[in-house]
Every structure is written in C-alpha cells, then in structure tokens.
Amino acid sequence: MTKAPDRAALDHTAPDQTLADLSEGEVLARIFPRLPHADTELLGPGDDAAVLSAADGRFVVTCDMMIQGPDFRLAWSTPHDLGWKAAATNLSDVAAMGARPTALVVAIAAPPSTPISVILGIADGLRDGCEALAPGCGVVGGDLSASDALTLSITAFGDLEGRAPVLRSGATAGDVVAHAGRLGDAGIGLGLLFRFGVDADGVPDRAAADNLKLREPRFVEAQLAPVPPIGLGPVAAAAGATAMLDVSDGLAIDAGRLARASGVGVDFDSAALGDHRELALGGGEDHGLLATFPAAAVLPAGFRRIGTVTDQPGIVLVDGEAHTQGGWDPYRGWDGATS
C-alpha cells in the first residue's frame, strides 16, 4: 500500500514546494516521521500492507471520507484542523462501539499544485489528534493520489478488550438515556462560519474566519477541530451501557436511529438539554456519545442523564411531546461551493 520512503530525502523540504515537485516516495518520506506509532503495529508503512496485532481475536473497523467542498473549506479549516477532525470523527465511531481505538490508515488525494506544507499539516493534525484523544493509537499505512479536490479517507480500528461491542440495538424501556460530550456547539460554530466567516459576497474567507475564531473560539473550534470524549466509549461499555452511538448528525436524528434499532422510544428531558434546546437536538458534528444504561446503573463520570427510554418504538419525544427531526444529507446539504 505504501512505498518504502527514502529517508535521506528527509528534512530538505522548501516551504513552497508542491506535490508536483516531488515523487510519491519523497512525499511519503516527509510524512511518515510525523505520524504517530501504533502500539498494536507489528509491521508499519513500507510494504504492500501493514500487520496489526488483535490480541482480542476480533477488531472493530470504521471508515469515513472528508472532501473539500461538501465536508470542509480550506478558507476555514487549517490543514492541522483537517487532520485532527479526520482522526477525531473516526476515533469517535470506534469509541461508540465501546472499543479502544488502536490504529488508522489514511488515504489522501490532492491536486498536484498542493503545497507540501498542507500535507505535512494534515499529518501533524492526525498525530496531535491521536495523541490527545486516543494515546497509543497510530497511523499504520496509507495511500497518496492525485485529484482535483483535497480528499481524506480514513479507516480506523479498535480493540474491544474482551468486551461485547455496544450496539445501537440494545436499549430497553426504562433505561436511562445519557450523553457525554458537547451538544450543539459544532452546529453553532458552523452557523457562525456561514454567517461571519465569509466575505461581502458570502464566499468563505480566511481572514473573516480567523477573526471569528478569536471572537468565538469555543463554537468555531468545536466545528473545525472537535474534541469528542473518545476515552469514555470503553468506560461506558465497562459500566454496562446497553446501547451507544456517536452523535454525528444531531441528537434527535441519532436518537431516532438508536430507537429504531432497539425497537424502543426516547423521551428527552428538556431541562437537561440546556438553554439552546433546538440547537442541542438538531446540531450535528459534535461527536458526543449517546448511550443508554440500566435504570439502576451508576453513570460513569462524564455522562449526564438527558432522558429515558420508552416503549414506543422509533418515537423521539421531548418532555413527552413529539419532536420533528431535521438534519444533514450528503446529497442534499451541499451547495457545490468548494472554496
């Protein structure tokens, strides 16, 4: 999957070099040393494939692709943000199974005119994201291609450490509904970027976004470089979580998925959703963990009770009343702008 890097070529990169100025091997030789090592790596980059240990006899796997335009804009996200977010969102899917993230493989496609500094920034973001969110998780391989739009495709692995995976389908009526992580912040950040991170014509603009980051760092950083509670996935599993998922498309939509998979309903307690109830229910990309626990369970630190599991299959309520869902669809939510 990866070519053996020419180590002699390291650290001789002029900052304005582009991918077209370097061979694939030269680019990879600059990337690999920046990437974190995985504790489970038996054989890393440089051969046709990597080899990872799976002491548990099983492994968890998930994948997600991020594409310039529909998924991010370079006027708003730094390369470091992109690497960080690509790691964070995939690690979160692993954590939502109750697994400890162990490794990533990363395929990057970029225009030949892309400065090498962009690719190195992505690598640094992947490293810092792994180190901060899932220590011991590393990058074990990848692929580098040419494309018109910058594209990151990540596959992430996890170790269940002997536990059963926590599925979406295990909730039963009477369980407590709990959440760990932020609710609505990333959605607020995206709204702020579309409103204030643009120029006079409404086009995404770096200077405007940088200014916004200084004024509203909490919300903008939640959108561009989220810090999901990865470590709480295995903790929730060990504490007896009956069902769990990663809140990527908004609390109401994802609660509906859990409810349908489990054949139950969810009734949220609006008092637990904070002052911005609709944003908490509708805002996507926070990548918190939505989990259900038996009524008698002691919730692990980091989780808050936000509702109750009911016996009404597929029904999501707030304080016992119906809630109308809205949300993100990849083929309906993109306006085609790629700046």
Binding residues for ATP are 142-143, 168, 248
Query: Is 118 buried (19+), middle (13-18) or exposed (0-12) by CB count in 10 A?
Result: buried
Residues 142-171 contacting a copy of itself, CB under 8 A: 142-149, 151, 153, 155-158, 160, 165, 167-169
Task: Using CB under 8 A, pick the residue from 11, 16, 48, 321 that binds a copy of itself.
Answer: 48
Task: Using CB under 8 A, pick the residue from 81, 93, 175, 267 that binds a copy of itself.
Answer: 93
Q: Mask 61-90, x = binds a copy of itself (CB under 8 A)?
A: xxxxxxx-xxx-------------------
> Binding to a copy of itself by residue 207, rule CB under 8 A?
no
Q: How far is the CB of 271 from a copy of itself (least distance, A)?
A: 28
For residue 235, list its beta bridge partners: none
Nearest to 60 by CA among 122, 131, 137: 137
> Binding to a copy of itself by residue 105, rule CB under 8 A?
yes
Task: For the chain, state the CA radius of gyration.
Answer: 21
> Binding to a copy of itself by residue 326, rule CB under 8 A?
no
CA 1 to CA 103: how far, in whole Å?
16
Find out whether 45 and 142 touch, Cβ atoms under 8 Å: yes
Could you tell me how many residues of this chain bind a copy of itself (CB under 8 A)? 80
Q: Mask 270-309, x = binds a copy of itself (CB under 8 A)?
A: ----------------------------------------
How far, rounded to the nearest angstrom, does the alpha carbon of residue 248 sit from its chain's CA centroid? 8
> Binding to a copy of itself by residue 3, rule CB under 8 A?
yes
Task: Using CB under 8 A, pick the residue from 141, 189, 197, 282 that binds a copy of itself.
Answer: 141
> What is the 8-class DSSP label of residue 267?
E
Task: Using CB under 8 A, pick the residue from 31, 74, 75, 140 that binds a copy of itself.
Answer: 140
Tokens 């950083």 locate to 221
User: In this structure, how many other beta carbons lie within 10 angstroms of the beta carbon of residue 156?
Assistant: 28
User: Three-state DSSP class for 78?
Assistant: coil
When the beta carbons of 94 and 193 are compared against a copy of itself, the nearer one is 94
Measure CA of the first residue to CA of the last residue in the chain; give whole Å. Answer: 31
Q: Which whole-number Å values give the CA distances from 157 to 99, 128, 232, 256, in the listed order? A: 9, 17, 16, 26
Task: Using CB under 8 A, pick the residue from 17, 37, 39, 46 that binds a copy of itself.
Answer: 46
Amino acid at 58: R
Give helix 79-95 / helix 116-133 axis angle, nearest 10°.
40
Residues 216-275 contacting a copy of itself, CB under 8 A: 244-246, 257, 260-261
Nearest to 50 by CA among 2, 101, 106, 122: 2
Task: Using CB under 8 A, pick the residue from 9, 39, 107, 174 that binds a copy of itself.
Answer: 107
> Binding to a copy of itself by residue 314, rule CB under 8 A?
no
Q: How far is the CB of 169 from a copy of itself (least distance, A)?
A: 8
